[in-house]
């Protein structure tokens, strides 16, 4: 049951913002990968002496932190792509599709994976901060990602039930 809806400005703006977000995250991934590669291949005691201190292994901690951040960004891109596809089905007038329930499930797992990466990143950042001696402040974890994941798992079930109910209704008419 596919219906074409008139252009909705909110959906259009949302899609534009999602695409911009994906592009920005991709550029950050590229820049971060190049920076870490340069740091590993060409350690420079003049530019970043604390980051290239071989005796403390800081450069490897920085690489681990960057790899974790890149992983978070890749997960975020996957999350955003799934969201964009759901928004597209809303624009088409038929959001209650089985694939949207699957997308919501994937988004929930991506949110959990992102949150897990945050737990990995915290001790890495603390270690880098202790090696550099210049970073200050506490690093706190938020459990918002877990709440988001739970909401998405529930919404996936709502979408599955809505799809089933709509299919039952269409079968009786």
Give residue 78's pLDDT: 98
Residues 99, 159: Cα–Cα separation, whole Å:
9
Is the confidence at residue 81, as pLDDT, over 80?
yes
The radius of gyration of the chain from alpha carbons, rounded to an integer in Å, stands at: 22
Q: Which sequence spans correspond to the domains of the chain?
A: 9-172
The H or E element containing residue 47 is none
Give residue 63's pLDDT: 85
Give residue 40's pLDDT: 76
Give residue 131's pLDDT: 74
Is the confidence at residue 129, as pLDDT, over 60?
yes
- The tokens for 7 are 């252009």
pLDDT tens column, 82-114: 999 999 999 998 888 999 999 999 999 999 999
Number of neighbouring beta carbons within 10 Å of residue 171: 7
pTM of the model as a whole: 0.83
Number of neighbouring beta carbons within 10 Å of residue 56: 16
Give residue 56's pLDDT: 65
Number of neighbouring beta carbons within 10 Å of residue 8: 13
139 versus 156: which is more confidently predicted?
A: 156
Task: Supply the DSSP symbol for 4.
Answer: P
Give residue 169's pLDDT: 82
pLDDT tens column, 7-66: 889 999 999 999 999 999 999 999 989 988 887 777 666 556 666 565 567 778 888 899
């Amino acid at each position: 049951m596919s219906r074409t809806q008139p252009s909705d400005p909110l959906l259009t703006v949302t899609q534009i913002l999602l695409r911009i977000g994906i592009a920005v995250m991709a550029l950050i991934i590229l820049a971060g990968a190049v920076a870490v590669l340069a740091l590993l291949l060409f350690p420079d005691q003049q530019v970043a002496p604390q980051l290239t201190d071989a005796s403390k292994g800081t450069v490897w901690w920085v690489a681990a932190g960057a790899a974790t951040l890149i992983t978070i960004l890749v997960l975020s891109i996957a999350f955003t792509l799934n969201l964009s596809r759901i928004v597209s089905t809303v624009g088409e007038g038929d959001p209650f599709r089985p694939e949207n329930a699957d997308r919501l499930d994937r988004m929930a797992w991506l949110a959990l994976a992102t949150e897990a990466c945050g737990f990995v990143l915290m001790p890495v950042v603390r270690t880098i901060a202790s090696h550099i001696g210049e970073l200050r402040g506490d690093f706190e974890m938020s459990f918002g990602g877990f709440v988001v994941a739970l909401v998405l798992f529930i919404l996936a079930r709502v979408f599955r039930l809505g799809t089933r109910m709509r299919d039952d209704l269409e079968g009786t008419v």
